[in-house]
Chain A
Amino acid sequence: MERAIVLAASAIGAGLAMIAGVGPGIGQGFAAGKAAEAVGRQPEARGAVTSTMLFGCAVAESTGIYGLVVALILLFANPLVGLL
């Protein structure tokens, strides 16, 4: 019974942890929009703008990745079950 409660709470917690994906989504959308603006203004700088945008996006993504790692730990390597 206790085990079932812990497992259910872990599954809910993993789902809640993925709410962290909202932030990077907004941030990356903002960055991509600005990059599109920049390419529109200066089409010849397209390569530099694109690589800078990808770099910035990948760095901005890390908070979402933290949420994902928490969710993966809760689902596949749950430390809470061992505490029972």
Chain B
Amino acid sequence: MIFQTWSDLSLQHRSSLGLVPLAAVLMAVLALVMGVHEATAFPVVLVSMMAWGAGLRAAYEDDKADTWTFLRTLPVPPAQVVAARYLSGFLLTITFGLTIALPLILLGGGAWPAAGVGTGAGVALTGLFNAVYYRFGYRAVSTWFRYGLLLVALGGVLLARLILPGVDWPLLLGEVGTWLAANPALMPWLAGAGVLALYTTCWAYATWAFCRKELL
């Protein structure tokens, strides 16, 4: 299992791992240009985008090399195939979160809450993405998530601007992080538990779907 997770990270997520230093540099530039406090709104967006991109890239690599057929003809339980992807996706998203938080921490910002929210969002997105991927395949997941995310993002922004035109959203997201930091006893744990519950539920669903999947 450890080797399979490592294989998944080093093969299917290789190009996404290459983006990690780039994201750290981008975060540092944003913090320097906008100020550390303002920049704390960005980890949520960045980590989510990177997690989505990494999932999509891995699914694309799978599809191109017909990896599902390769793995399903080996004496490897399908549940283990899914587990390797979920573990590698989790590790990758945590890495994204930590790497993006690092420039903010080094520049003196209270980046942990923002990084926590960003990582949580990334983990949740990874879980959902992989559940759809193992149930419906690469073509479906690439289309649904591409247009679905775009729709949600655009719709969300438009809706937010219509309902609350005067709100400074980057600041608000930073405030959410700060608020979470102010309630360390309960909220982060609840949020973390919620994200993990969602992730494991998606994992279980993906396992169920992949074990029953026919490879036409």
Q: Do A and B bind each other?
A: no
Q: Which residues of B contact A (CB under 8 A)?
A: none
